[in-house]
Structure 1
Amino acid sequence: MAKQRRMSAEDLYRFEISTGARLSPDGQQSVFSLQRVERESQKKYSNLWLVSSQGGPPRQFTYGDQVDTQPGWSPDGRQIAFLSNRKNEKQFQLYLIPVDGGEARPLTDLKGEFGAFEWSPDGRQLVFNFRKTDQAELEREKDEQKKKLGVVERHITRLVYKADGSGFLPQERWRLWSVTIQNGRAKQLTEGDVYDEHSPHWSPDGQQIVFISNRSEDPDRTWDQDDLFLIPAGGGEMRRVETAPGPKEAPRFSPDGRWLAYYQSGGQHEVWRNRNLWVVPVKGEGEARNLTGGYDLQIGQETMNDIDKVQMMPPAWSPDSRRLSFQVSYHGDTLLQSIDLEGNDLQTLIGERGVVGDFSYDRDQSRLAYLHGQPDSLAQLWLCDIATGRTRKLTRFNQNIFRGVDLGELEEVWFKGPDGNDLQGWILKPPGFEPGQKYPSILEIHGGPMAQYGHYFMHEFYFLAANGYVVYFCNPRGGQGYGEAHTKAIYNDWGNGDYADLMAWVDLVQQKPYIDPARMGVTGGSYGGFMT
């Protein structure tokens, strides 16, 4: 057997990353976006791929040096809508492509930023949220002199005017739009200068659209006052759905049209609370109910990695409107679980060690496709037969890389914190580890702090291990995946209980016979940088 090499920085150019996996309505195939890096230009490109549910190699569906992303099947399974920047690197548009062959055609010709989109139940329209480019920016693009001068002034009118990764925010707000499939006619459904609208979703009969918006007097100041709203599919007067106060995400109609399911993270000013799954009657004949509040679980995806952003998926209703499935972040894993409409009978659908990302069902929920990543591999697409519970791996991207690399040995450790609290950590030993040798070590501290390290690939950790370091990391108080008390422990008190947990972890690792106490380092990003 050939000697295995170690993980390198060059491997970042080699990884292919799967995102946006969606199972076709008939369950026969899945579409996903596969990202690659062009080493020479340092640019990231992605194309759409298809893979059969019967097995066999996946096949590339779109080609070219562009970004094709967020694929979504039409209800009849004959077309795929997706976002692409193939005509303008700086401007995405919605495109349609027939599944049985043919060229992709642009559906929109708008200037601005696209968010989520969704097919109407009859397949005749898409709804999406969109933020137009500011008029001043459009004028600069047309006038060479103005373009040369650039931005000469900024008129700040809001409390939140900048964002990490975006810089100065535009004056325009996120709005709801629809576009007709047949002729590409786009229509703006909502207006205003103060509010944003997010997460649009069609009612089963196609007559209404539910969305989330913060309609308080100053949404930037009272950022956690989200509400659910209903608006006619063609636009018009909106109606607020009565719910408990707090940040909300991902509303979804039940198939029978009677209920709205959504995620809510605690109440106002209670950021430490778990994200829970709620339901509320559409017609207002009852109060909103928290289905998962009694289980002390963090609903959604919080497990960190440094290669791709694993998506938090909306709740998925069963065809009979009696159950919901959703991700759960728990003890370093992201699971897929389900619960009934009364908040009982919590079941684990996908519970293997690792992280469940994008998941989707076929029309009758006999099959489930999902992305699943583990500590020693990037996410691959899997298929689950719901009746038997049997799973099968459909893709094997990057397997040649991982087969040829010695990652070292990863050990999971549960230990007691300074207050008798249970904590979970991991120790990664370098490749070729020799028990009698003394090694330098690095403590990694995650950002957030409301997140968790866990059973998912971290290139940085394996790269450091490849260079002879013992890398160790844990989930101190303040993170998620261990209950509300664990998260609340540092609320308005950063650098106290969390620091004590980290130092208890350092003390434990320092006692290992292979640790050199004179060569112990620490690093972290964001909140992890603060703790460093």
Structure 2
Amino acid sequence: MSFRFPRRGRSLAPGQRAELTLIDLDGRSEVIFTADEVIEAPNWSPDRETLVFNSGGRLFRIAVTGGTPEPIDTGTLADLNNDHVLSPDGSTIYVSSDDGHLYAVPFAGGTPRRVSNTHATPFHYYLHGISPDGETLTYVAIEQPSGQRRVNVFTIPARGGPDRRLTDLDVPNDGPEFSPDGRWIYFNSELAASQAGHAQIFRMHADHGSALEQLTFDSFVNWFPHLSPDGKHVSVLSYPPGTTGHPPDKDVQLRLMAPDGGDLRVLASFFGGQGTINVNSWSPDSRRLAYVAYPLC
């Protein structure tokens, strides 16, 4: 492959590759791009033409038919992680930076605008979802009041404004995302874990975090629930029992379930994990998903 990504962060093992893959609801998959460096977390543009992913602290776009990636100008931001979402109208990419803040960047590229707030105690933002009307972002914050590390779910206006806490738990929570009707936020949590690291999928009302409901109950470690635009499916990245967190380089399953947690089934099994499907990568027509696998040759 002639295209070179910036080198930053984790690297692939010798002989390993990153495969940007599209899969339909029947499990038929197609690799549209292969890289010999880490690429992560594809988003699908609302016009169905483009995927956005990150690599080496930068963002790139690529046609859903494949081809050569194109860098997206993010101004002074060169330390982006794999938490990014697109506005419903496709005009803006909201990103998380390793400086701990959230920014809005024009989809066409340009000067970033900071969305997040400065806090008196350590508070690191990790973005995950945007409301259907594009007005509100949901994220997890790593808080360290008095040195105690806590990871909880919040929302913030996309234009900037006050943070709203939705969970106040001492166990880790991650991956919050709005349902297409805006009523629910889905997320993974260790709230019901009998051992550290055993995350399951939950949902709660998006207004104040009420009506908390657990949706998965099995031995897998379940992360990153993503709602299809038509509201009929939730995709989940499932790790082997005993996994702690969401590491790379594991035998994982991409599973689908109904919004209430029913009808759970395996869509695909592959070598992946961190970076595979950290953000919502459903196609706008709810017929396909994009993900990254990291097979070892």
1:262 aligns with 2:172: no
Distance 2:40 2:197 in 1: 33
Unaligned runs of 5+ in 2: 1-12, 242-249
Whichever residue aligns with residue 349 of structure 1, its letter is V
* Bigger share in strand: 2
* Bigger share in helix: 1
2:255 aligned to which of 327, 334, 337: 337
Partner of 1:292: 216
Distance 1:289 1:243 in 2: 15
Whichever residue aligns with residue 178 of structure 2, its letter is F
Whichever residue aligns with residue 17 of structure 2, its letter is I
Is the Cα–Cα contact under 8 Å of residues 20 and 70 in structure 1 kept in the other structure? no
Query: Could you say if the C-alpha distance between residues 33 and 197 of structure 1 is closer, same or farther in structure 2, counting changes exceeding 3 Å?
Result: farther
1:129-160 CA-partner distances (Å, limit 9, x unpaired): 113xxxxxxxxxxxxxxxxxxxxxxxxxxxxx
Partner of 1:366: 287
Query: Could you say if the C-alpha distance between residues 322 and 286 of structure 1 is closer, same or farther in structure 2, counting changes exceeding 3 Å?
Result: farther
Equivalent runs, 1:127-138 vs 2, <5 Å: 127-131=94-98
Whichever residue aligns with residue 208 of structure 1, its letter is T
1:108 aligns with 2:74: yes
Query: Could you say if the C-alpha distance between residues 287 and 339 of structure 1 is closer, same or farther in structure 2, counting changes exceeding 3 Å?
Result: same
Equivalent runs, 1:46-65 vs 2, <5 Å: 46=37
Q: What is the RMSD of the two structures over their aligned residues, measured on CA atoms? A: 3.7
Distance 1:320 1:71 in 2: 19
Query: Could you say if the C-alpha distance between residues 23 and 205 of structure 1 is closer, same or farther in structure 2, counting changes exceeding 3 Å?
Result: farther
- Which gives a bigger RCO, structure 1 or 2 (Cα 8 Å, sep 6+)? 2
Distance 1:244 1:318 in 2: 28
Distance 1:232 1:323 in 2: 26
Equivalent runs, 1:311-330 vs 2, <5 Å: 314-330=224-240
Identity across the alignment (%): 22
Using the TM superposition, give the Cα deviation of residue 365 of structure 1 relative to its aligned residue in structure 2, in angstroms. 3.0
Partner of 1:73: 44
Using the TM superposition, give the Cα deviation of residue 84 of structure 1 relative to its aligned residue in structure 2, in angstroms. 5.6
Whichever residue aligns with residue 222 of structure 2, its letter is I
Query: Could you say if the C-alpha distance between residues 283 and 271 of structure 1 is closer, same or farther in structure 2, counting changes exceeding 3 Å?
Result: same
2:79 is paired with a residue of what secondary structure? Answer: strand
Query: Could you say if the C-alpha distance between residues 296 and 78 of structure 1 is closer, same or farther in structure 2, counting changes exceeding 3 Å?
Result: closer
Query: Could you say if the C-alpha distance between residues 187 and 271 of structure 1 is closer, same or farther in structure 2, counting changes exceeding 3 Å?
Result: farther
Is the Cα–Cα contact under 8 Å of residues 50 and 62 in structure 2 kept in the other structure? yes
Partner of 1:196: 124
Distance 1:174 1:234 in 2: 17
Larger radius of gyration: 1
Using the TM superposition, give the Cα deviation of residue 323 of structure 1 relative to its aligned residue in structure 2, in angstroms. 4.0
1:272 aligns with 2:196: yes
Is the Cα–Cα contact under 8 Å of residues 243 and 288 in structure 1 kept in the other structure? no
Is the Cα–Cα contact under 8 Å of residues 199 and 249 in structure 1 kept in the other structure? no
Equivalent runs, 1:87-126 vs 2, <5 Å: 92-96=57-61, 104=70, 106-110=72-76, 112-115=78-81, 116-126=83-93
Partner of 2:101: 175
Using the TM superposition, give the Cα deviation of residue 94 of structure 1 relative to its aligned residue in structure 2, in angstroms. 3.3
Distance 1:78 1:351 in 2: 24
Unaligned runs of 5+ in 1: 1-11, 36-45, 47-66, 86-91, 132-172, 301-313, 380-397, 399-532
Partner of 1:347: 264
1:332-373 CA-partner distances (Å, limit 9, x unpaired): 953333333434x34222366x54653654333334555667
Is the Cα–Cα contact under 8 Å of residues 238 and 253 in structure 2 kept in the other structure? yes
Scaled by the length of structure 1, the TM-score of the pair is: 0.43
Whichever residue aligns with residue 326 of structure 1, its letter is V
1:2-23 CA-partner distances (Å, limit 9, x unpaired): xxxxxxxxxx75x250245456
Is the Cα–Cα contact under 8 Å of residues 319 and 364 in structure 1 kept in the other structure? yes
Whichever residue aligns with residue 291 of structure 1, its letter is L
Whichever residue aligns with residue 44 of structure 2, its letter is W
Using the TM superposition, give the Cα deviation of residue 209 of structure 1 relative to its aligned residue in structure 2, in angstroms. 0.5
Scaled by the length of structure 2, the TM-score of the pair is: 0.72
1:327 is paired with a residue of what secondary structure? Answer: strand
Distance 1:362 1:245 in 2: 35
Distance 2:132 2:53 in 1: 22
Equivalent runs, 1:194-273 vs 2, <5 Å: 194-215=122-143, 217-218=145-146, 221-223=147-149, 225-242=150-167, 244-266=169-191, 272=196
Partner of 1:184: 110
Query: Could you say if the C-alpha distance between residues 328 and 187 of structure 1 is closer, same or farther in structure 2, counting changes exceeding 3 Å?
Result: same
